Amino acid sequence: MKQISKKSALLIGGFLALAGNGTFAAAAQPMSGEQIIQQQCTACHTKTGDASKPYSRISQQRKTPEGWQMTLHRMVSIHQAKISDAERKQVLKYLADTQGLAPAETAGLRYGLERDGNLVENNDPAYAEMCARCHSGARFGLQRRTRAEWDLLVQFHMGQIPTLELHSLARDRPWFELAMNEVAPKLAEDFPFETAAWKAWQAADKPTFAHAWTIAGYIPGKGDFDAVMQVRDQGDDRYALEIAGHYADGRPLSGSGQAITYTGYEWRAALTLDGMKLRQILAANEQGTQMTGRLFMAGANELGAEMVAQRAAKGDHAVTRVMPSHIRQGTRQEITLVGAGLQGTPELGEGVRVIKTLSAGTNRMRLLVEADKQAAVGLRDIRVGQIQVPAMLAVFDQVARVEVVPGESIARVGGNGMPVAKVKSAYRAVGYASGADGKPGTADDIRLGHMPATWTLKAFDETAEQDNDLKYAGTIDANGIFTPGDAGPNPERKMSTNNVGNLSVVGSVDDGGGQVSGEAHLLVTVQRFVRSSVQ
């Protein structure tokens, strides 16, 4: 069998169980994942004699699919494990299914799986200086280990990174002593190997995914979209996908792809939509009726956004998205409802009525609606037949403030003949109306949702102004996508430094009577040469 190459490993496993070209390997596997472990791994990982934890080191840990992917990559690239690409996929599937994390155990940390690098963490102080100074809190929070294994992880760090105690925030304290005596016990308490949630999930009936799904999301540079995703079972938790739908402006959208599920709820898909290669990392709820997560460009993880997939099988009823999610007093506009089992004339709340149904289907309704001039400012529930969803449509008088998201972000120089590509950053403007107190920026502000904006940049501070960062660090286009400058020294800059910079991203929304603007902070920095499956 063909041995996995180092290049393949560095590509993060060809996106887990997907082969490097985005398709599944067709060859049938003669051995199960457990049989491969027994044959290929027990030269180093001895049998323990404990049926509940049969293999040393392996059986005392639980991880996400991406976590196990990183482990397998390390076994191949550092320890020269002789395991083929096809065998690696089998082992990954087996470990993720039998030693994964329950849905509740990934809550609040899924950004680490979804490749969302522009999120400000709020880690426990005990971890912030000892662990999260090198990698995200999601990196260790998405693992479960026995107490002995958490101790061994500290030992692994010292053996693998012998200069660790010389790093900043380590050389000024007894790092190893603190890690062993304080941090490892806390990790074992906060992220234990045995949990009630995992035991319950192992015993639960797992959902099937071979249905029609209504999906809705946003693609940077293209806009909001909704579509029907037909999912066809190919066996062994693998699925073929066919997608057809529309962007918010009416342009058609279509594509196809393939997916695999791990641990009964972890959905990973590679698809092509209108020539764009994309990835889905989603998690299903325990009932298997809805999946949420992120859709992003295959070659640029930073260009993506949240998406939702609603099962649209017989008997399913839901409204998952309203586009746009706001209407101004005294105006008419088109809105689109997305969901499943949509039947009848929608009720949009006091002061808002449907003038005309432009198109109607069970998964998508396009409506012409009107808000009264005196309609109260605030959020409205939406009712469609037996479906009622709270606070999905906002009525507003004016845009009181604009929030640019992400509020803190990083872009990275690249290209220019260098092997590492530029890392871009994408922005959206979220409008807010003032609440009952009439003051913007207070707790009762009403979120209106994403709004069209014009985009500009400015220097973040006096130093950035003096260094002329605005000229060299990059540009932003009409879609809110920032492209950083080229990698390498720039002889035009002071001391021929590179094109890093410190910028503010300004998004301005036309409120009819003027522009309302918001700002976000953008740090343009150097390349990242090491990429991991869990950010």
Look over the chain and give the mean of its residue pLDDT values, rounded to a whole number. Answer: 92
Q: What does the block give as tokens for 42? A: 């027990």
Cα–Cα distance between 167 and 68 in angstroms, integer?
Answer: 27
Question: What integer pLDDT is reported at residue 119 of this predicted model?
Answer: 86
Fold match between 212-311 and 318-396? Answer: no
Question: What integer pLDDT is reported at residue 28 of this predicted model?
Answer: 53
Burial readout 409-420 (b: 16 or more C-beta within 10 A, e: otherwise): bbbbbbbeeeee
Q: Would you give the DSSP letter of residue 110?
A: G
Residue 37 half-sphere exposure, CB side, CA atoms within 13 Å? 20
Region of poorest pLDDT, from 160-169, 277-286, 371-380: 160-169
Length of the chain, please?
A: 535
Q: What number is the average pLDDT over the span 348-355?
A: 97
CATH of domain 212-311: 2.40.128.120
Cβ-based burial of 146 (10 A; exposed 0-12, middle 13-18, buried ≥19):
middle
**Greatest CA separation for the chain:** 76
Cα–Cα distance between 366 and 342 in angstroms, integer?
Answer: 11
| 503 has pLDDT over 90 | yes
Phi, psi of 432 (to 5 degrees): -135, 145
* pLDDT, greater one: 217 or 135: 217
The superfamily in CATH containing domain 401-525 is Immunoglobulins (2.60.40.10)
Cα–Cα distance between 369 and 391 in angstroms, integer?
Answer: 17
Architecture category of domain 318-396 in CATH: Sandwich (2.60)
Which residue matches tokens 């037909």? 230
Cα–Cα distance between 266 and 66 in angstroms, integer?
Answer: 10
Sort strands 387-396 and 326-328 into parallel, antiparallel or unpaired. parallel
Write out the E strands in 352-500: 352-360, 364-371, 378-384, 387-396, 401-405, 408-412, 425-426, 428-433, 446-451, 454-459, 474-476, 481-484
pLDDT tens, 51-100?
A: 999 999 999 999 999 999 999 999 999 888 889 999 999 999 999 999 99
Please state the domain extents for the chain.
Answer: 6-100, 106-199, 212-311, 318-396, 401-525
pLDDT tens, 253-278?
A: 999 999 999 999 999 999 999 999 99
Phi, psi of 22 (to 5 degrees): 85, 10
Q: What does the block give as tokens for 30? A: 């003669």
pLDDT tens, 288-335?
A: 999 999 999 998 999 999 999 999 999 999 999 999 999 999 999 999
CA 33 to chain centroid: 28
